[in-house]
Amino acid sequence: MQYRSLGRTGVQVSVACFGTMTFGWEPDDWGTHEKDCYKLVDKALDLGVNFFDTADVYARGTSESILGKALKGKRDGVVLATKCHGKMSDTDPNMWGNTRRHITQACEDSLKRLKTDWIDLYQIHRPQPSVAIDETIRALEDLVRAGKIRYAGCSTFAAWQVCEAHYVAKHLGLSGFVSEQPPYNLLDRRIERELLPFLRTYDYAVIPWSPLAGGQLSGKYLDVKPKNARYSTTDPQKRVNRATTEAIRRYKIIADRYELSMTQLALAWVANQPGITAPIIGARSEQQLEDSVAACQLQLPEKAYEQIDRVVEPGDHLIDYYSANFGPNVRPSI
């Protein structure tokens, strides 16, 4: 297993981060059977994966609970990451967001579900411009000083929002964020415009989510939509469309040229982009997990990068993954 530094922290994490978003959902709704979750975590550890990512909002806490059980007796060797921000109650208007009140309560709840005394990387799941960033940064610093989290990070922030948080923390003499978790794949490369250059410049860890674009880049939607896949029955954002299908066909030609699977091409490409720490991979079977972990450690031929850039140009996109509340005058799409 290859290991990389978690940004400027020096903590070593596996080049593949095992994401557990499917834990806790019904298998018929693209989820993973609970008994299989435990097997997958054990398999990941056997493969050398030491980096696990979840969030409180995944199945309203069930993902965290399952992961906590799966890591019982194995916690010390793991870098455990989770997130807060998402709506955790249908009745309490304060059970979401980036306020001190919610962050403090959400962290306590996550610690209980994960059955741990500390969280290695506690991430703000989405930006919330209506809450002053110093409120968020101060709350996270309090958790660090209390020993409840080791580091703080953010997810799907605009470049200006990470920059603001960086300099507010510097001004206040606080730790601030050490990582960003953005969407990044061969169909949405927009973080290459401003976000990724900023993160590289200031030595932030970069932990891309959806490197396979919801499974599209595995090629499984090219012919007949598979059952129990993410976009099999619902696709409100129309991410599976004519343009993406055509691009994936072109990527498949490149993969075939180098005797690679589509998954290998997509994951190896993300994992080896400058500044990337560890793509978040998901799996519903041990073989799928093993293949994805191996793919993150592959090196692509230099010519493959040139050919890939002709399909979707650097900084361009065909589908909308990199979207959140990027400011008061921007309409959020997710």
Q: Which residues contact 315 (CB under 8 A, 6 or more apart)?
A: 189, 190, 192, 193
CA dist 18 and 221 (Å) reads 23
CA dist 318 and 107 (Å) reads 36
From 3, 38, 58, 258, active-site residue = 58
Q: Is 151 a catalytic residue?
A: no
CA dist 249 and 247 (Å) reads 5
* Sequence-separated contacts (24+) of 303-307 with Cβ below 8 Å: 304/254, 304/257, 304/258, 304/265, 304/269, 305/269, 307/254, 307/257
| Cα 179 off chain centre by | 11
CA dist 248 and 245 (Å) reads 5
Residues with a known catalytic role: 58
